[in-house]
Amino acid sequence: MGGNWIDAVGGNGASPMGGNWADSAGASGPQVFAMRTDHPLAEIPVPANLAATFRASDWDPDLLALTILPQFMKAKVGTKTWETATTLPAPAAITQPMIDDMLILAITERPDALGEIVQQNQNFQVCWLQLLNVGRTSHPHTYLLMKLIARCGELAMMMLKRRNPARPRPSQVCPMLYPPVPVPGHASYPAGHALIGSLTSACLAELVPAHAQALEVLAARVGFNRVLAGLHFRQDVDVGLDVGRQLKPFVQQCRLYKDTLAAAQAEWA
């Protein structure tokens, strides 16, 4: 969840021989080479480039995105930070009708949605990449922008969950819900997928206005799939979607976000 998602579109399941090779530098960590011990590759004479620098494009987007967090925590709209401005109503009391509703959904709708539930459990932001038909290689600044948004969203999500740290997951109330994916190790309220998805859609709508409605629908669908999975109550998702939209103005105040947005806009010009 959050910023540490992986764009699997860059993967390549076909034969790596010939022209169909893949650059593993796109993955996290250094490249590793096998070599003979009696004739190491280092013996090949290549002039050293003493003026070399670490290129901006070499930065791992996951790690670079972490650097927006101090800016996000200090960002203000008027006199308020996101923590003081975010409206988070108290979670509604859990009732038997709420549980009955989720049991019905698990029987009637979960089987058809199961593929989406499993795929969106991790790396759910790739749904946004697919909707926009982009990836790290084709639109690197848009890709980084999504990472920045996700990092801010996951920090806010966890801090807001700490306001209601005892809010149970639906399956803790009713084990018969049998979630088809692992239950996350944090409280249920508000829903993280909904919050990050809504924040992502709200920010990307500024970048690609023509996709605004589709982006909003996607965030709601990903959020509701977590209800079908038995991981969240409906209110968790509704509040998560709303909070994501509330956070957008504060993300927009961050210098790293502004600079990346400008570069991303050039990709869509």
Helix (H, G, I), strand (E, B) or coil at 226: helix
Q: What is the pLDDT of residues 150-180, one digit of tens each?
A: 999 999 999 999 999 999 999 999 999 999 9
Q: What is the pLDDT of residues 206-265, one digit of tens each?
A: 999 999 999 999 999 999 999 999 999 999 999 999 999 999 999 999 999 999 999 999
CA end-to-end distance (rounded Å), the chain:
30
CB count, 10 Å around CB of 92?
Answer: 13
Would you give the distance in Å from CA 40 to the centre of its chain?
Answer: 41
Whole-number average pLDDT of the chain: 92
Q: What percentage of the chain reaches a pLDDT higher than 90?
A: 83
DSSP 182: P
Extents of the domains making up the chain: 60-267
Contacts of residue 246, defined as CB under 8 A and 6 or more positions apart, other chains included, come to: 82, 85, 86, 87
Could you give the CA distance from residue 103 to residue 228 in angstroms, rounded to a whole number?
A: 9
Q: What is the pLDDT of residue 134?
A: 96
Helix (H, G, I), strand (E, B) or coil at 91: coil
**CATH number corresponding to 60-267:** 1.20.144.10
Q: Which amino acid is at 176?
A: M
Q: How confident is the model at residue 31 (pLDDT cuts 50, 70, 90)?
A: confident
Could you tell me if 99 and 174 are in contact, meaning their C-beta atoms sit under 8 angstroms apart?
yes
Q: What is the pLDDT of residue 24?
A: 55
Q: What is the pLDDT of residues 90-112, one digit of tens each?
A: 999 999 999 999 999 999 999 99
Q: How confident is the model at residue 6 (pLDDT cuts 50, 70, 90)?
A: confident
